[in-house]
Each structure stands twice: as C-alpha cells, then as structure tokens.
A and B are shown apart, each in its own frame.
Chain A
Amino acid sequence: VTAARRILLPFLGATLSRATLEEAVAAARAEGAVLVPAYLAVVREDLSLDAPLPRGETESALALLELIEQLAARSGVAVDARIERGRTPREALDALLEHERHDAVIDAGLGGERSIANPAKMRR
C-alpha cells in the first residue's frame, strides 16, 4: 500500500491568505494528496517550550485550522492538521519536518515568495 502524498502548508497567525490556501487545496486535489495545514506557534523566550500555548493564541490557531478543514473538505481534500511550537517560525517548521514525512511544502511566505518546495531542501 502506498501512503498518500502529504503536502505541508505551514503558516503563522496572520500570514495565510485565501489565495495561498486555494492554491494548496488545488495542488492537493490534483495529486490526491493529504493537505497538512500547520500552525507554527512562536513561543516567547521567557516561557517554556513545552508549556501549553496561551489560550488566545490557541483559539486563533484552532479557528484557522477549522476554517481550512472546512474549505478543504468542500473540495474533497483530506486534511491532517498540526500545531507545532518553536522559538522561531523556522524552528517550528524544522520540528514539523523532523517529526513526520512530507512530500512537498508550500512556502506561504515564510521563506519569501510563495512556492512549492522540496522538504529536504527546506531543512537546515
């Protein structure tokens, strides 16, 4: 059995545009892939990296993931959402890439221009 391709869509709180999401959904749909929207939570230096996220931030993240799931489901795209923490967005992204297999990453502005990248090339 071949596992479905996984397309990672990492985003920070307010960086995900509808256009980016629609492109990601279209890409996942075209490939029959699972879309992995991932909220990258940046944890302040004075807080433990293992501590639960502040409630307000968690609510925002969950609301966004919920919305993404709705939109993806309408297009028939399977979703497997994530939240990942790090001291920086880059660190959270690295943790995501470390923890699970992803076949493509949609660079939604984290690394400059929006594009689909090879996860191996995005690792530091």
Chain B
Amino acid sequence: VRGHYKIFLGMAAGVGKTYRMLQEGRAEQAAGRDVAIGYLEPHARAETEAQAEGLERLPRREVEYRGSTVEEMDLPAIFQRAPELCLIDELAHTNAPGVEHAKRYEDIEDVLDAGIDVFSTVNVQHLESLNDRVAELTGVRVRETFPDSVLASADEVVLVDLTPEALITRLREGKVYPAERIPAALNNFFRVENLAALREVALRQTAEEVESKRILPAAELLGTRDELLSEEAPQALADRVLALITPRPRSQRLVRRAWRSAQRLGAELDLLYVQPPGQPPRGEERVQLEALRRLASVLGATLLVEEGDDLAETVAQVAAERGTTYVLIGQPRSRTGLRRFGESLPDRLLRKVPGVDVRIVADRSRRLENAK
C-alpha cells in the first residue's frame, strides 16, 4: 500500500514550512508512530533545529561532485530503516549526479511506493506550471522545478501562510537568513509586492488543490444515492476548458495559457473560433487558423469552428454541448471589443453560461508597451 503523502506548501523561504512539518512529525511521534527525518535542511535556523530535537535523523550520504563533497538524502538508508513516517525537506531539490534519481521528489515516490508515509515541503515558485508566472511577477526565475502532478498526487496539501509584512519582520530579525544575506534579500526577492504576489499564487494553488480533492468524494456519494443525479454527475465533475480564439497571432499565446490552465485542472481543452456566417477565413486569417489547428494537435486540444452572429450565444451553445467549466478569452484590443450593446463580453458570457468561470488572458505585448 502506497504511503500517505502530505506536502507543506509556502510562498517563500522562511514562512515556516519545515518548522510546521517537524511540529506535526513530533505530534505523530507523540501519538505513538515511528517517525524519522530522512532529510532536513535547517538553514541554521535555531527555531527549526529546536523542533527537530527528539526526532531520529537518518544519516546523509556523501557524494563527490565537481571536485567537492556534497551531502544528499540517503534513500537506501530510509528503506533499511523503514519508519512509518519519514520527514523529507525540500522536494524540488536537484540531487547530485550518481544517486538513484535526479530529483528528490522522485526519491519520495520510491519511499511512498515502499509504503512509508511522507511529509515534505516546497515553495510555490518551484511548481513547473507557475514558473513563468512567478518569474514574471518577481523577476526571479527558479531553476529547480517539479511537475504539477506531484502536488496533485499528494493526499494532503497544507498551505503554510504568513503575511508579507510578518515574513519581512522575520527576515529582519535574522530568523530566515544569516545577517550578511539580509540586506540583499530585502532589496531583491523579499519585497512586499513580490511576497504579496507569491502569496496570492500560493493561496490560489492550494484552493485549486482543495477543490479538486473535495469533488471526488462527492462523486462517489452521488453515484450511490440518486439515479437522476448520478446521470448528471459526470458532466459536472470533469473540468473542461474552452478557449475562444481568433485567427490572429496573439491567439497562439492564449492557447498556450489555456493549455497550462487545463493541465493544472486535469481538464480537457477545447479551442473555439466563432466564424461570421458565410465568411470562412481567407488569406492570412486562413494561415493563422491552420497554425492554430497544428498547435491544437501538438497540445492534444480540440479545435472547433462554429458559425455564429452572436459570439456569447454560440459560446453558450458549445459550452453546454461540451460540458465546459472554464471559458478563457483574450484581452480585447479596444474598449468596443469588450463592450458592445452596453454589456461586456465577459458579462454576457457569465449570464449566458451560468456556473462557468470566465477568465480574461492578458495580452502581454500590450502590457509591456503600456509599462514603457
């Protein structure tokens, strides 16, 4: 039986993920469970070290890498010790060459497969699908990433939250980094606006994880009680993303964003071009539509072309047929594009397809132009 996987997710270093993991590990031990630390990165933080006291630490192993010796988690030692619960810090860590796996989250998979429960920690900026977004928000790109599927496969995701102001206070008090690193950290990554953006990302990510896990037990319940409800349940349970495209270059980016959203939701992706009746795309538009068709094929999405005078009406019809739960639209080029006949397209969509989330994907090139 695969072990139980619990991940402590935070917005940045210093919010207390490792502390919380150790705290819960101690509680488990106090409750009579066999707990051991597989790997701990205390960063010389006194509070963290104190929490680790009384918990057995498994030995690390030394690996020669580029002429020096680095310490890595000792996976065979964990198997040999085989505790009930193993605490393993920083799942996005990249191992030195020569050990079983390139990444620590892969080591953790083996530990779970051996029937050992695992508590682990990670910061949200390491999540692959958020890497671009976080780099865009903060100007800092992290190299150590992990697939979204790791978070999705966890039995529990616990958000360790702290306000940006409180985290900065902790940083100033020397509770996160040693004194010599504090000024640089404050001037670069640890700015209120960066941390606020990361916090929002972490909160949203956790909310999506909670939502996806909350829905599954409901499905089981519906299937066993009411026949009519159970017939409707599959449509309501599977997420499906619909992205509205036009035969223009900027739709390429919209499709890429939609694919990423669909991946995070574990959803199928449909692309819809609503074509004016009797006006098939010609010339450059035809070329662009074909390019979008090829992109859809590469991404495993379905491209639909429907004729219609009324965009919102056509979207509503397609959304009903396809079981759409999210609609993504691009940022209109002009105000008139967004608002016609007194009601904006997002408002019309929300009215026409109730219960479906509508998201607007920003046009990055325009934003950058405006920022100049």
Contact = CB atoms under 8 A, between A and B. Distances in A.
B369 A73 contact: yes
A53 interface: yes
A46 B74 CA distance: 36
Nearest to A4: B284
Given A74-B368, A78-B249, A52 B298 contact: yes
A88 interface: no
A52 B297 CA distance: 6
A70 interface: yes
B61 interface: no
Interface string B109-138: 000000000000000000011011000100
- Interface residues of chain B: helix, strand, loop or mixed (majority): helix
A93 interface: no
Interface string B232-252: 000000000000000001001
Contacts of B350: none
Nearest to B298: A83
A39 B329 CA distance: 24
Given A73-B365, A82-B291, A99-B294, A59 B128 contact: yes
A81 B299 contact: no
A58 B299 CA distance: 7
A41 B295 CA distance: 12
B256 interface: yes
A21 to B, nearest CB: 15
A66 interface: yes
B263 interface: yes
A56 B129 CA distance: 10
Given A63-B131, A99-B290, A58 B369 contact: no
B253 interface: yes
Interface residues of B, number: 27
B179 to A, nearest CB: 35
Contact of A79 (B128, B249, B299, B300): B249
B147 interface: yes
B105 interface: no
B364 interface: yes
Contacts of A78: 249, 365
B259 interface: yes
B99 interface: no
B140 to A, nearest CB: 14
Contacts of A53: 298-299
A99 B298 contact: no
B364 A69 contact: yes
B287 interface: yes
4 interchain residue pairs of minimum CB distance: A52-B300, A80-B249, A73-B365, A73-B368
Given A55-B147, A78-B249, A82-B294, 15 more contacts: A3-B284, A50-B297, A52-B299, A59-B128, A59-B129, A59-B260, A66-B253, A67-B132, A69-B253, A70-B136, A79-B365, A81-B253, A82-B291, A85-B298, A99-B290
Interface of A: 3, 34, 41, 50-53, 55-56, 58-59, 62-63, 65-67, 69-70, 73-74, 76, 78-85, 99-101
